[in-house]
Amino acid sequence: MTSQATSRAAGTAAAERREQAVRAAVEQGLAGPDVPIVALLDTASIRAGAAALRAAFAAVTDAPVLHAFAVKACPLVPVLRLLLAEGLGAEVASPGELALARAAGIRPTATVLDSPAKTPAELREALALGIAVNADNPQELARLDALVSSAPSASPLGIRVNPQLGAGSIDALSTATATSKFGVALLDDGARDWVVGAYAERPWLTRLHTHSGSQGVALSLMARGVRAVYELAEEINAAVGRQQVDTIDIGGGLPVNFGSDEETPTYASYARLLKEEVPGLFDGRYGLVTEFGRSLLAKHGLVLARVEYAKSSGGRPIAVTHAGVQIAARTVYAPASWPLRIEAYDAKGRPKQGPPVAQDIAGPACFAGDLLAENRPLPLLEQGDYTGVLDTGAYYFAHHYSYNSLARPGIYGFTATADGVGFATVRDPQPIADLVEEAGGAHADALL
């Protein structure tokens, strides 16, 4: 099979497992009148995605590659543990994300810390643990100078650079613009010389980092970013006369297809493109780090939400469901950039039949714009039916937004085989008592 046919076949198999899981979730009471929203993760698909990532890079280089999953894409300990079992590490950007990675058992040597605002305490902890750190800017590098001279550390250290190649189609996610907040802007006056000098003065700087892709960024632009960082590494190594930069961190950012079940672009196509565009990066002189997030999880999760009411307004049918801004803030606030596929299921969790009718799919929050889709043609949803909000495994239900004090839904991993569907709890639904506590319940008199 061609790789395209393979990714299409894998997509079809995943869609079949999803249908089985939705049906079983309703049959087993994971979703129902009293549990009107639940999130599901396809365990086998997550494993397969991680394996595909490893295979894609193993096919283009013999050098060591650390695939550090960007924890922010799906900050759930059991997911991190599953990815660890598939040979992945973690890219973290806050004390919370580091704690999650550690709780999942990810070793410091498989962990990378990259945030634009690391405090002295965070840097000290990272160096004490031996976690790799990419300094974002000259002030952070000065903090590393002080730490490195005060205590020995096993941490591989580097600098994050921004090749300033331009934006993708979503401004808020474009990291490689001229004025991006991330990293040292390489094309700014004097910046390149400053970076080369910084390495020449610090033999302990052995890594170089960029993360120039994201949703909406073309692979060709990402590859140019990787080439820019490779050329800089070569320039540094030539200037110091040895292979001081021994590892290049190419970031993540593989975009995801939100339009169908097909998983494109594939890791294999990206790795092949990189090898074509930047052959020297793969000749064995450089170790590699990758930091993929969205592409490892997005297509492997969905939200199942009950239709509480089906109504009509101004002639338009509206399904009022329990999935809205609290699980899909990006889609609700920026619908043109973040459209999501929605499936219609009947009250038993079976695919809903019927001619397509343009309808609005609304969430439970109290503002008019809380819509996951407007005028979407779907079989007409009725009270007690379900919607499946697809491709929400990254940056959606794991990124709860507590508007209207809506509780976080439970998250379950499923394995769907010919023998049936098994569910494993990834995260319990949030109890209302927790919500009260988070909302200062313990300090009820504080303002009297």
Ligand X SMILES: *Cc1c(COP(=O)(O)O)cnc(C)c1O
Interface positions with ligand X (CB under 6 A):
70, 72-73, 91, 114, 211, 214, 251-254, 291-295
CB of 192 to ligand X, least distance (A): 21
Question: Token digits for 176?
Answer: 């490689």
Q: According to DSSP H, which parts of 31-132 are helical?
A: 43-58, 77-85, 95-103, 120-129
> Closer to ligand X at the Cβ: 36 or 156?
156
CB of 414 to ligand X, least distance (A): 23
- Residue 331 Cα to chain centre, angstroms: 15
CB of 112 to ligand X, least distance (A): 8
> Closer to ligand X at the Cβ: 84 or 378?
84
> Closer to ligand X at the Cβ: 43 or 175?
175
Instruction: Give the three-class secondary structure for 403.
Output: helix
> Closer to ligand X at the Cβ: 89 or 251?
251
Residue with nearest beta carbon to ligand X: 293
Q: What is the DSSP letter of 32?
A: B
CB of 93 to ligand X, least distance (A): 6
Give me the phi and psi of 210, to 5 degrees please: -145, 155
Q: Cα–Cα distance between 225 and 214 in angstroms, integer?
A: 12
Q: Cα–Cα distance between 412 and 83 in angstroms, integer?
A: 16
Q: Cα–Cα distance between 445 and 441 in angstroms, integer?
A: 9
For residue 438, the surrounding DSSP H or E stretch is: helix 432-438
CB of 166 to ligand X, least distance (A): 17
Residue pair 332/371 in contact by the 8 Å Cβ criterion = yes
Q: Cα–Cα distance between 292 and 289 in angstroms, integer?
A: 10
CB of 291 to ligand X, least distance (A): 4
Q: How far is CA 244 from CA 199, 204, 238, 248, in A?
A: 8, 8, 9, 11
CB of 368 to ligand X, least distance (A): 30
> Closer to ligand X at the Cβ: 94 or 404?
94
CB of 100 to ligand X, least distance (A): 15
CB of 22 to ligand X, least distance (A): 26
> Closer to ligand X at the Cβ: 42 or 114?
114
> Closer to ligand X at the Cβ: 23 or 72?
72
Q: What is the DSSP letter of 409?
A: P
> Closer to ligand X at the Cβ: 91 or 343?
91
| C-beta atoms surrounding 421 within 10 Å | 19
CB of 293 to ligand X, least distance (A): 3
In terms of Cα–Cα distance, which of 347, 274, 314, 292 is closest to 72?
Answer: 292
> Closer to ligand X at the Cβ: 92 or 416?
92
Residues 6+ apart with CB under 8 A from 413: 40, 41, 42, 43, 78, 82, 423, 424, 426
Count Cα neighbours of 318 within 13 Å in the Cβ-side half-sphere. 17
For residue 68, the surrounding DSSP H or E stretch is: strand 65-70
Give me the phi and psi of 111, to 5 degrees please: -125, 140
> Closer to ligand X at the Cβ: 60 or 73?
73
